[in-house]
Structure 1
Amino acid sequence: MANSPHGGILKDLYIRDEPIQAALQAEAETLPYVTLTERQLCDLELILNGGFSPLEGFLTEAEYTSVVENVRLPDGTLWAIPIYLDIDRAQLDKLGVSVGSRLTLRDPRDDQPLAILTVSDLYQPNRETEAIKVYGANDQAHPAVHYLYHNTRDTFVGGKLQAVNAPQHYDYVAIRRTPSEVRALFKKLNWTRVVAFQTRNPMHRAHRELTVRAARMRHANVLIQPVVGLTKPGDIDHFTRVRVYQAIMPKYPNGMAQLSLLPLAMRMGGPREAVWHAIIRKNFGATHFIVGRDHAGPGKNSQGEDFYGPYEAQDLVLKYKDELDIEVVPFQMLTYLPDTDEYMPVNEVPQGTKTLNISGTELRRRLKTGAPIPEWFSYPEVVKILREANPPRDKQGFTVFLTGLHASGKEAIARALQVALNQEGGRSVSLLLGETIRQELSSELGFTKRERDINVARIGFVASELTRAGAACIAAPIAPYDEARQLVRQQISKAGGFYLVHVATPLEVCIKNDRAGVYQRAINGEIKGFTGIDDAYEAPDNADLVADVTKTSISQIVHEIILLLERDGYIGDR
């Protein structure tokens, strides 16, 4: 039989009694409410469906302190990661929330009431202690520590929950299963020994070999249970990853494996996280759990060293193996032996045997450049999906962001560049001129610093969406302030290429070229806060190209921009 849940009873909080559920639904509509963050939503779903058994709500201060300090709940039950509801004190005061209050928790996606929290505690966390005790270091290079300091609000709210509605998902509904549903599936399939596999990355042939090896060693079946909640910033989106998992499932022996998704918000907490993952898989009915090398590791700390040792997570899970009541299956990294066409744990490879491997960095390089990915590393079906999600540079979008004074020539450069890119072909080209955006998107804005920043942010948003869609975008606002430009760079760089071009035409030339006479009106005091006259222009110090139309022709400037794009593979042959 599959293991009993952690703590002995699966804490599935969903109510099957329709009158009671209807009464709670009606009450939820009358109560003060808060809208959950993405991480809180993930945590709530797993509390409500029993994935976080024995938790029945968000931790009180006593529970939080006990978990942080002792890796246990106050009653002694093993629990590794603090699960809390953080809300700004000002918001709580505005809502009139105090101990004893009932509070509706709403879904951020559709505003549906999901649960009612009976507040039993309001407290302030010790962030430094949590960072050190739970994640091993008070180092904001760790994503969970960074989140703790920059994303959690000032007050933690503890209390038990009553379920109102389950979060509504619209993706991969057939393979989103609660612990009760997974346990029922195991029963239906007559699975009594189940090895669970945790992943937040695409699976390749080594992962398939590892899980098959684990199942055969333990005479068990395999539950592939990938995380589809929050993972590490920069990870591949879960839609792409799930398509990969679906493509790899037919590669397992018939009847050996099942795929089920886990809406978990990972903390990348290494050893503590591995214990937490084992508890969750126990709640889902698994009897065995694979813990691999650097399980849930976040990478390098601020000193450039790994946060955790390669097998530190295995050691901590094994320390608690008797209490966990789920058998740990420790695995070392597998490597490929080309002479025998097989994968083998690195510690079992005979000395002198030829091995091959492709690192994550090398895989990303091959995807980016279109270089071949051999079948010994990954299946063609998987590579196809990854290539679709990671098209080569000449299929990706980019933005050329020209900044400079009014009448500096940036609009003429932008128009000429648009012509050159249209001539090049291969993608649509959009032109966002400063005056056009002012008329079409920002007509209500004035010219204060705040309003200028809002205007630039709007341009950045439109440009990032065009870039994400694979288009070429040319933006040419004045954008006088460095901070606003940096925010735009960060936003667009997540979607594709970004090139900052500073059109550094001298002010006196700009004044001379200004046929509309707005500079003269500003000099005469008729216009206030005009960039270059009585408001500063902060010249960028990180421009990809600096151009001056008094020294270089527009055609040459466009050519130099084209060369930048060709250098990075966005246009032309590499």
Structure 2
Amino acid sequence: MAFSAAAIVFSDYPFRASPIHCHKVTRYAPGSSASVVSVRRRGLAVVKSALIEPDGGKLMDLVVDDSRRRVMKREAETIPVRIRLNRVDLEWVHVLSEGWASPLKGFMRQSEFLQTLHFNSIRLEDGSVVNMSVPIVLAIDDEQKTRIGDSTRVTLVDSVGNPIAILSDIEIYKHPKEERIARTWGTTAPGLPYAEEAITKSGNWLIGGDLQVLEPIKYNDGLDRFRLSPSQLREEFTRRDADAVFAFQLRNPVHNGHALLMTDTRRRLLEMGYKNPVLLLNPLGGFTKADDVPLNWRMMQHEKVMEDGVLDPETTVVSIFPSPMLYAGPTEVQWHAKARINAGANFYIVGRDPAGMSHPKEKRDLYDADHGKKVLSMAPGLERLNILPFKVAAYDTTQGKMAFFDPSRSPDFLFISGTKMRGLAKKKENPPDGFMCPSGWKVLVDYYDSLTSESGNGRVSQAVFSA
């Protein structure tokens, strides 16, 4: 759920890959076949691991080489048919270009689309299966389809007509919108944010093909320095001598319950025998629904969390995940996990109702809160990833801090809902001491204050990091 104030701790439920129940962890070294390193010491599984291989064995890099860039830009100008990308389309180009969706080489053709829609996975030529749970497609309308005709290539341009990429060996096929929505979200109820933004009003056709992206995608918003590609992240993990990488996906400000979850994960990995587990704090940076805190404010809040030492900068890498947010629950959480494999993570933290939201029409959660972590533990193509499921934690009034929930003394715990947290921030009131670092809370208060302080028109202040 958006703005969940609950953190989560290791669960004992009997699904795959809770590491305190695993006796073996597979080691994946780039360019080699898998091997297992596992010994026992004082009752704990002691394991070592190199960075996990990308899906398909190779990280896709669809950005044109510097040596060919000028020629390819001229070529893009000569292609007669141009397709204008909207904001979400451009975010998917970004995702594809850097290899987050490896082994995809571009927007999905029909065979990939159907496998994704019906099996949440794609079978490769060698017979292996990789997870792929959300369609990464580009919609066009009837007029655009007619203009393309028999052409085999189109140029993709941004909102002002600048060439962004060439899409080659194209395939055009029908866009089954209702089926896509029903299978991705499990409902066709009106009000699904991503569906209304990117599907319902989009074209009746999908166009797939191989992408050649003319230069790295930049947003020039002061945050590009935080947008590390999977390749750059892998280089950073190697530079830090990480022997395990555990990823945390979020779209909200970080409170001390989240921090407890992440620091406890590192403690447990150290107990397992890892020498230097590194956290990938990977906030979602693409499309989000209107009531989520915008990315620039979230990144300011994350920076304060790091400055205050709530998380250790020496063992934490903060980087933006460029994907749009679908709010598709158990379907989308597979995409979030799969993408982090390609970024080098071999452990993935999952908690309550991942990628979930309230039902758009009824007063209830759209998904069962436990289904996301259960599905993730059984998902095809994610067998190599160690899933770290957690339980709920809350504010312990006896200790004055976020702590793991103890049902034997439940009256001692205070559950601060997202609604409660937003209400406090809007009224410029402080939460209980120990809920969030003070400087991080101030960022949240400033954000809600900005909603009503700009000319009284409700626009959000565009404060960003300095470059």
TM-score, normalized by length of structure 1?
0.66
Mapped to 2, the partners of 1:255 and 1:302 lie a distance apart of: 45
Cα deviation digits, residues 470-528 of structure 1 (max 9, x gap)? 34xxxxxxxxxxxxxxxxxxxx56679xxxxxxxxxxxxxxxxxxxxxxxxxxxxxxxx
In structure 2, the partner of 1:225 is 282
Mapped to 1, the partners of 2:62 and 2:450 lie a distance apart of: 47
Cα deviation digits, residues 263-308 of structure 1 (max 9, x gap)? 1111111111111000111111111111111101121242332111
Does the residue aligned with 1:332 lie in a helix, a strand or coil?
Answer: strand
The 5 A counterparts of 1:39-438 are 39-75=88-124, 76-93=129-146, 96-98=147-149, 100-108=151-159, 111-147=161-197, 149-170=199-220, 171-219=222-270, 220-249=277-306, 250-253=309-312, 255-320=314-379, 323-346=382-405, 348-352=406-410, 354-391=412-449, 396-397=452-453
* Deviation, structure 1 residue 313: 0.7
* Deviation, structure 1 residue 17: 5.1
Mapped to 2, the partners of 1:264 and 1:60 lie a distance apart of: 20
Aligned AA for 2:179?
A: T
Does the residue aligned with 1:41 lie in a helix, a strand or coil?
Answer: helix
* Deviation, structure 1 residue 69: 1.1
Aligned AA for 1:33?
A: R
Ranges in structure 2 where 5+ consecutive residues have no aligned partner? 1-49, 271-276, 462-467
Aligned AA for 2:375?
A: L
**Cα gap change, 1:23/1:246 in structure 2, threshold over 3 Å: closer, same or farther?**
same
* Deviation, structure 1 residue 323: 3.4
Does the residue aligned with 2:154 lie in a helix, a strand or coil?
Answer: strand
Does the residue aligned with 1:77 lie in a helix, a strand or coil?
Answer: strand
Mapped to 2, the partners of 1:321 and 1:149 lie a distance apart of: 26
Mapped to 1, the partners of 2:180 and 2:249 lie a distance apart of: 24
Mapped to 1, the partners of 2:164 and 2:410 lie a distance apart of: 59
Q: 1 or 2 for the larger relative contact order (CA 8 Å, sep ≥6)? A: 2
Cα deviation digits, residues 142-163 of structure 1 (max 9, x gap)? 2233345533222110111112
Does the residue aligned with 2:412 lie in a helix, a strand or coil?
Answer: coil
Does the residue aligned with 2:442 lie in a helix, a strand or coil?
Answer: helix
Aligned AA for 2:216?
A: A
Ranges in structure 1 where 5+ consecutive residues have no aligned partner? 398-468, 472-491, 497-574
Does the residue aligned with 2:182 lie in a helix, a strand or coil?
Answer: helix
* Deviation, structure 1 residue 375: 2.4
Aligned AA for 1:372?
A: N
Aligned AA for 1:308?
A: Y
Does the residue aligned with 2:429 lie in a helix, a strand or coil?
Answer: coil
* Deviation, structure 1 residue 97: 0.8
Mapped to 1, the partners of 2:265 and 2:430 lie a distance apart of: 30
In structure 1, the partner of 2:73 is 25
Mapped to 2, the partners of 1:125 and 1:154 lie a distance apart of: 5
Instruction: Find the structure with the greater CA-based Rg.
Output: 1
* Deviation, structure 1 residue 57: 0.7
Mapped to 1, the partners of 2:293 and 2:99 lie a distance apart of: 27
In structure 1, the partner of 2:26 is none
* Deviation, structure 1 residue 169: 2.5
**Cα gap change, 1:356/1:189 in structure 2, threshold over 3 Å: closer, same or farther?**
same
Mapped to 1, the partners of 2:350 and 2:435 lie a distance apart of: 21
Mapped to 2, the partners of 1:139 and 1:350 lie a distance apart of: 40
**Cα gap change, 1:278/1:149 in structure 2, threshold over 3 Å: closer, same or farther?**
closer
* Deviation, structure 1 residue 240: 0.5
Native 8 Å contact 2:395 2:416 kept in 1: no
Task: Figure out how many residues of one structure are paired with residues of the other and give that number.
Answer: 398
* Deviation, structure 1 residue 116: 0.3
Indicate the percent of aligned positions where both proteins have the same amino acid.
Answer: 26
- The farther-off stretch of 371-380 and 290-299 is 371-380
Aligned AA for 1:24?
A: M
Query: RMSD of the TM alignment (CA)?
Result: 2.1
Mapped to 1, the partners of 2:380 and 2:248 lie a distance apart of: 17
Aligned AA for 1:304?
A: K
Native 8 Å contact 2:256 2:310 kept in 1: no
Cα deviation digits, residues 330-362 of structure 1 (max 9, x gap)? 12222121213443343x443445012321111
Native 8 Å contact 2:121 2:381 kept in 1: no
**Cα gap change, 1:166/1:339 in structure 2, threshold over 3 Å: closer, same or farther?**
same
